[in-house]
Amino acid sequence: MTTETAGDTGGATATTGTTGVAEVAGVTGITAITPAAGTAVPLAAPVIAASAVTVAPAGTTGLAGRAALALDAACEHLLGLQSPEGWWKGELQTNVTMDAEDLLLREFLGIRTEEDTAAAARWIRSEQRGDGTWATFHDGPGDLSTTVEAYTALRLAGEPPDAAHMRAAAGFVRDMGGVEEARVFTRIWLALFGRWPWERLPALPPEMIFLPPWFPLNVYDWACWARQTVVPLTVVAAHRPVRPLPFDLDELRTGRRPGGWPRPGWEAAFAALDRVLRRYERRPVPGLRRAALRRAAEWIVARQETDGSWGGIQPPWVYSLIALHLQGYHLDHPVMRKGVEGIDRFTIREAGTRRLEACQSPVWDTVLAVNGLLDAGLSGDHPALLRAADWVLAEEIRGPGDWSVRRPDLPPGGWAFEFDNDGYPDIDDTAEAVLALRRVRHPGVRPAVDRAVRWMTGMASRDGGYGAFDADNTQVLCTKLPFCDFGAVIDPPSADVTAHVAEALAHEAPGSPALRRAVVWLLRAQEADGSWFGRWGVNHVYGTGAVVPALVAAGVRPDGPRIRRAVAWLERHQNADGGWGEDLRSYTDPAWIGRGASTPSQTAWALLALLAAGERSPAVDRGVAWLADNQRPDGTWDEQYFTGTGFPGDFSINYHLYRLVFPVSALGRYLRRERRTGGEAPP
């Protein structure tokens, strides 16, 4: 997700830092070079011609030759995946809770069909492991809540509880404490069908919609994905609906009450508050409750996207449909009809199965593909890149959204992650779009890039770092509520997002206060072992792979102690086969940090950092060789392991295009370095 400092192609020039060593305020012993605006340097010749993907003649030997042939095949494959409209989109794979909850949603709304049920059940069953469980990521441990939801969906599809695979699943659930120990979201689904008592769920009064933005625990204190989920859930919890299933789930129970005594401090305080709210829920103020439900429904409707979704993601989508249905919106109402029909766009039907994407990532995938192809040497005026720029420019968000609550005077700009999500542009996509568009020779790029840089700069948090969707979304009180036992519910600055912004600003606003503050934030965020934590990718390999190129682009010396410590960390964690990998369990178990089976995306992230740091070491050669040796005949790579992150430790993603776009970037930069220096790595 990075680009070189001198990243343009085709004989253009770029600015780079050359002078002005300055002390980085507040970071002892660290110096940085402030990029000098307007310093022109010649750039390397493109590796790939504008009209063809050809990086090396047949018969080229040595590691550079093998890398060139691998890059040639990968670029050809990537170009072949572009849509006629100009975008790229790989599958965004998560876990079977998406499919189980879709069946439960359809059951609740009365629209479930036998055909959809059978196809979804076949997919859910295919993902069950040998021990009877379902995991949230490939080769991960069995997950209690995921197994409960998958089991319930299979019962809905008619699977008998005495079948061997169902008995194995139920046994695992009981061994893990039963449905009593499942997460709150799972127990809400069970409550909708009378299989869990509403009074044993945390209170969620809809009156919270009236809290002003300055008041603690107002809806804008939550991350955008959480607020869009919580608001409809307050409506659902107020109605407490029950649509009984034709079976019980007694085989998943242990009879124990969930949880124990709350720990002293905030946990105990919020447990006491929950008890107060429960008493209020038994006898709410009628007029206030009606007004709150009406306001919440209006809030939900106002945030529906043109494709029928809410935020382009599954959780607020399904709960919003249920909430509006309970508020009297019939299935033929335009909002409901558009919402239900829109789910089909997120549905993949294949080999008699049916599965859902939790989200779709066309803007993200497209700007990463453009950056990769440019790194590989494709000319900035190549027709594929011009088509991509046309599409990306048309996706620019020019209106306000929830982010405006914290930044009311900031003019809009930037891009979202999905096809249709005009209310929630995100800073990460915007930074990567800036890095891509600035190198494409398209006449409409400059105004959009300027608007994006202005918006992105204005979205800095008070500490100089950047979250994904909002500024200063750091209210930790939200995380203490009894309701919040699953996933991240706030959006504080992270190293990977801040790094992408810093890299974009290094090119578009060198020497700016925003860039300087972002660099300081990143330097302070470095872990004691030399790595950086990865919020949106797995994990320290991702964070380090993003931060090192950004710091170098911003002017931090590659031979400085911070970069050297990061390089040493990466080299220590290289696998024996030459690749890099990190297991998702590193979010919850430090023993897994930097450890895991080698993957193409994580190997590429490590190489991007090492190349940015100027490394000419065996570690680089072995990493490049791993990519060349593990490429498939069709030019791409296999990657079963999940390397994307939704909620650290709770919700994981396999971006199917990561396995291709990041190796293209890494191989392209490696070959550019080899050609620029005249070097040739050993075979």
Catalytic residues: 428
- Placement of tokens 């429960």 in the chain: 278
CB 539 within 8 A of CB 587: yes
What's the one-letter identity of residue 55? Answer: V
The encoded tokens of residue 638 equal 């296999």
Of the candidates 69, 90, 152, 159, which has an alpha carbon nearest to the alpha carbon of residue 122? Answer: 159
Helices (H), 199-285: 224-239, 266-282
- Placement of tokens 């069909």 in the chain: 113
What's the one-letter identity of residue 91? Answer: E
CB 518 within 8 A of CB 578: no
Q: Say which residues have a Cβ less than 8 Å from residue 559's Cβ, sequence separation at least 6.
A: 614
Give the angle 651-369-583 at the CA atoms, nearest 5°.
30
Distance separating alpha carbons of residues 478 and 463, to the nearest angstrom: 20
Number of Cβ within a 10 Å radius of residue 149? 28
| Residue 63 CA: distances (Å) to CA of 46, 69, 543, 678, 681 | 19, 10, 27, 13, 5
The encoded tokens of residue 620 equal 């680089």
Sign of the Cα torsion 233, 239, 245, 249 reads positive
The encoded tokens of residue 643 equal 């390397």
Distance separating alpha carbons of residues 354 and 124, to the nearest angstrom: 9
Q: In the chain, what is the greatest distance between 2 CA atoms, to the nearest angstrom?
A: 80
